[in-house]
């Protein structure tokens, strides 16, 4: 069997949603648009006091979101950050109210790594019964912080079926770890993924990981995708990260020598937040469409068949 489901992340069209007074695009437009494009699920960033791309904070809005996804036949995931119990318990309830089956998170702690690991394990152990009660899987992302082995250690210590991993195709680069090395360590725990593409370059602010349209970067996209499938992953989420940047958090001379750590042309440096809103919206749409075609091509080359429910 080669059946998979395909989700899309709201970060892919973040400027459409941020500048919705210009784009006339909201969470409901996003759902309909993504249904029309052939996706079987949608992921929505609900970070911040106003829940960002969810576009509302009321119980009635959550009910409307759930009904829209249900009518369109779309599975739903939400994103938050900060593993602390206060945030996670609230956001699990929001996810359940919206009909989401998954809530992504990552740590917001700073300090010694050993302490951050301990605090994150504590938080996830506390939240596991809440996740189970509401039927919402919590997935911890390797989000510019933990290496694959560290994240695997955390999830092994938590040891709960409702607390799993989200593997990001490129986030391990920020901590100087090859994506395939991170994947090998995390594989037993992965239930969700973010499929995107990156390059490394020297920016005016120093060395960074630069998000580029899917298929135009240096990540080994087909190898990662096939390895994830072999590890049991059946839900793949497309994330357009055009114009996203993140600093490299390790010494440059400690970076691996694998091809995805080859330095790229500095002229590719771009931060969408510096663009005028109308330009950010227009360029984001172009990058989304280019990357999406490359994403479909990767899935076709791998021989996968898209199924509605996974």
CA dihedral 246, 249, 254, 257 (to 10 degrees): -20
In this predicted structure, the answer to whether residue 308 has a pLDDT above a threshold of 80 is: no
For residue 40, give both structure tokens: 């079987």
Dist. CA 277–CA 19, nearest whole Å: 7
- pLDDT confidence of residue 224: 98
Q: Render pLDDT for 194-211 as a digit per residue (tens, 0 to 9).
A: 999 999 999 998 999 999
Mean pLDDT, residues 13-21 taken together: 98
- pLDDT confidence of residue 28: 98
User: Could you tell me which residues come within 8 angstroms of residue 116 by beta carbon, excluding any fewer than 6 positions away?
Assistant: 107, 109, 110, 145
- The pTM of the full predicted model, rounded to 2 decimals, is 0.96
Q: Render pLDDT for 116-136 as a digit per residue (tens, 0 to 9).
A: 999 999 999 999 999 999 999
In this predicted structure, the answer to whether residue 108 has a pLDDT above a threshold of 50 is: yes
Dist. CA 2–CA 145, nearest whole Å: 32
For residue 88, give both structure tokens: 């996670």
Task: Give the CA angle between residues 247, 8, 249 to the nearest 5°.
Answer: 10
For residue 243, give both structure tokens: 């114009």
- pLDDT confidence of residue 158: 98
The residue ranges of every structural domain in the chain are 3-197+217-241+280-306
In this predicted structure, the answer to whether residue 267 has a pLDDT above a threshold of 70 is: yes
In this predicted structure, the answer to whether residue 86 has a pLDDT above a threshold of 50 is: yes
Q: Report whether 4 contacts 226 (CB < 8 A).
A: no
Q: Quickly state the pLDDT bin for 1 (edges 50, 70, 90).
A: low
Q: Render pLDDT for 56-68 as a digit per residue (tens, 0 to 9).
A: 999 999 999 999 9
In this predicted structure, the answer to whether residue 45 has a pLDDT above a threshold of 80 is: yes
* Placement of tokens 């005028």 in the chain: 276
User: Could you tell me which residues come within 8 angstroms of residue 279 by beta carbon, excluding any fewer than 6 positions away?
Assistant: none
- pLDDT confidence of residue 270: 97
Dist. CA 86–CA 103, nearest whole Å: 15
Averaged pLDDT score across all residues of the chain: 96
Q: Report whether 45 contacts 79 (CB < 8 A).
A: yes
User: Coil, strand, or helix at residue 202?
Assistant: strand
For residue 204, give both structure tokens: 């005016």
Dist. CA 11–CA 239, nearest whole Å: 7
Dist. CA 95–CA 76, nearest whole Å: 9
Q: Quickly state the pLDDT bin for 49 (edges 50, 70, 90).
A: confident
Domain 3-197+217-241+280-306 has CATH 3.50.50.60: no
- pLDDT confidence of residue 303: 95
Q: Rg (Cα) of the chain, in Å, rounded?
A: 18
Q: Render pLDDT for 125-170 as a digit per residue (tens, 0 to 9).
A: 999 999 999 999 999 999 988 999 999 999 999 999 999 999 999 9
- pLDDT confidence of residue 310: 46
Q: Render pLDDT for 222-265 as a digit per residue (tens, 0 to 9).
A: 999 999 999 999 999 999 999 999 999 999 999 999 999 999 99
Number of neighbours of residue 249 by Cβ within 10 angstroms: 12
In this structure, the strands spanning 137-141 and 245-247 are unpaired
């Amino acid at each position: 069997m080669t059946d998979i489901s395909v989700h899309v992340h709201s970060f892919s069209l973040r400027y459409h949603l941020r500048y919705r007074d210009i784009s006339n695009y909201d969470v409901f437009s996003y759902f309909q648009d993504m249904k029309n494009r052939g996706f079987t699920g949608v992921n929505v960033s609900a970070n911040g006091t106003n829940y960002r791309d969810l576009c509302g904070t009321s119980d009635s809005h959550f009910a409307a979101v759930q009904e829209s996804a249900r009518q369109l036949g779309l599975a739903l995931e939400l994103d938050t950050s900060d593993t602390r119990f206060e945030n996670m318990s609230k956001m699990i309830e929001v996810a359940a109210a919206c009909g989401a089956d998954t809530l992504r998170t990552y740590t917001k702690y700073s300090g010694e790594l050993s302490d951050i690991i301990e605090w994150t394990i504590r938080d996830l152990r506390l939240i596991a019964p809440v996740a189970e009660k509401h039927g919402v899987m919590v997935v911890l992302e390797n989000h510019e912080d933990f290496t694959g082995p560290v994240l695997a250690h955390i999830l092994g210590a938590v040891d709960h079926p409702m607390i799993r991993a989200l593997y990001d195709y490129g986030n391990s680069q920020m901590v100087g770890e090859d994506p395939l090395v991170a994947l090998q360590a995390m594989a037993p725990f992965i239930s969700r993924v973010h499929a995107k593409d990156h390059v490394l370059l020297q920016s005016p602010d120093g060395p960074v990981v630069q998000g580029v349209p899917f298929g135009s970067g240096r990540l080994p996209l087909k190898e990662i995708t096939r390895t994830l499938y072999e590890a049991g992953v059946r839900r793949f989420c497309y994330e357009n990260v055009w114009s996203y940047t993140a600093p490299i958090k390790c010494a440059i001379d400690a970076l691996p020598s694998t091809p995805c750590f080859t330095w790229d042309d500095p002229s590719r440096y771009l931060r969408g937040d510096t663009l005028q809103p109308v330009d950010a919206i227009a360029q984001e749409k172009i990058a989304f469409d280019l990357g999406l075609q490359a994403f479909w091509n990767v899935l076709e080359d791998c021989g996968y068949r898209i199924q509605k429910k996974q």
